Structure 1
Amino acid sequence: MGYPGTWMTESESIVYRVVPKCACSTIGQIMFYSDHGRFFDGDIHDSAEGLHKWAQEESQPLIEANVSAHRSRTFTCVRNPYTRILSSFFDKIAGIQRNGRRYRGNLVPKLAQQYGVTVGSPEDNFDFDQVKSFRRFLLFARDTIRFRRPMDPDIHWSAMSGHISTFIVNGGRYDRIVWTEKFNDGMAQVLDGLPLPHPVDLSTIPRFNESEGHGPKRAHPVEDYFDDLSMHLVYEIYHRDFELFRYDFENPANKMPTGEIDLDEVHAKLGR
Structure 2
Amino acid sequence: MNNFFQKITRNRLTIPFTPFYRRYPYRSGISINSADARGCIDTRLGFFCNRIPKAANSTIVENLARLSFGEDVPSKLAKKRFTVPSQLSRSEVDKVDIMFRFAVVRNPFTRTLSAYLDKVERRDRNAQRESNFFDFLQGLANGKLYSNAHWAPQHSLLLLPFDDFDFFGKVESLDSDLNHIRAKISGRPGAESIKTFKANATGAGKKLQEYYNEDTVGMVQELFHKDFELFEYSRELPA
TM-score, shorter chain, exceeding 0.5: yes
User: Which residue of structure 2 lines up, in the alignment, with residue 163 of structure 1?
Assistant: 157
Q: Tell me the distance in 1 between the aligned counterparts of 2:75 and 2:63.
A: 13
Q: Residues 59, 29 of structure 1: CA spacing in aligned structure 2 closer, same or farther, 3 A cutoff?
A: farther
Q: Does 2:165 correspond to 1:174?
A: yes
Q: Does 2:84 correspond to 1:53?
A: yes
DSSP 3-state at the match of 1:208: coil
| Letter of the 1:167 counterpart | L
Give the gaps of 5 or more residues in structure 2: 1-15, 25-35
**Aligned-pair CA distance for 1:66:** 2.5
Q: Does 2:207 correspond to 1:221?
A: yes
User: Which residue of structure 1 lines up, in the alignment, with residue 114 of structure 2?
Assistant: 87
Equivalent of 1:65 in 85, 94, 97: 94
Equivalent of 1:238 in 193, 201, 224: 224
User: Which residue of structure 1 lines up, in the alignment, with residue 130 of structure 2?
Assistant: 131
Q: Residues 205, 220 of structure 1: CA spacing in aligned structure 2 closer, same or farther, 3 A cutoff?
A: closer
User: Which residue of structure 1 lines up, in the alignment, with residue 59 of structure 2?
Assistant: 26
| Letter of the 1:153 counterpart | S
Q: Tell me the distance in 2 between the aligned counterparts of 1:222 and 1:202.
A: 35
| Letter of the 2:136 counterpart | F
DSSP 3-state at the match of 2:198: coil
| Letter of the 1:154 counterpart | N
**Aligned-pair CA distance for 1:10:** 4.7
**Aligned-pair CA distance for 1:36:** 1.8
Matches within 5 A, 1:181-220: 181-195=172-186, 201=190, 204-212=193-201
Q: TM-score, length-normalised on structure 2?
A: 0.74
Q: Is the 8 A contact 2:179 2:189 kept in 1?
A: no
Matches within 5 A, 1:132-147: 132-145=131-144
RMSD over aligned CA atoms reads 2.9
| Letter of the 2:160 counterpart | F
Q: Does 2:68 correspond to 1:35?
A: yes
Equivalent of 2:148 in 154, 162, 170: 154
Q: Residues 173, 220 of structure 1: CA spacing in aligned structure 2 closer, same or farther, 3 A cutoff?
A: closer
Q: TM-score, length-normalised on structure 1?
A: 0.66
Give the gaps of 5 or more residues in structure 1: 97-118, 121-126, 147-151, 255-272
Q: Is the 8 A contact 1:75 1:176 kept in 2?
A: yes
Q: Tell me the distance in 2 between the aligned counterparts of 1:64 and 1:130.
A: 45
| Letter of the 1:53 counterpart | V
Q: Is the 8 A contact 1:29 1:40 kept in 2?
A: yes
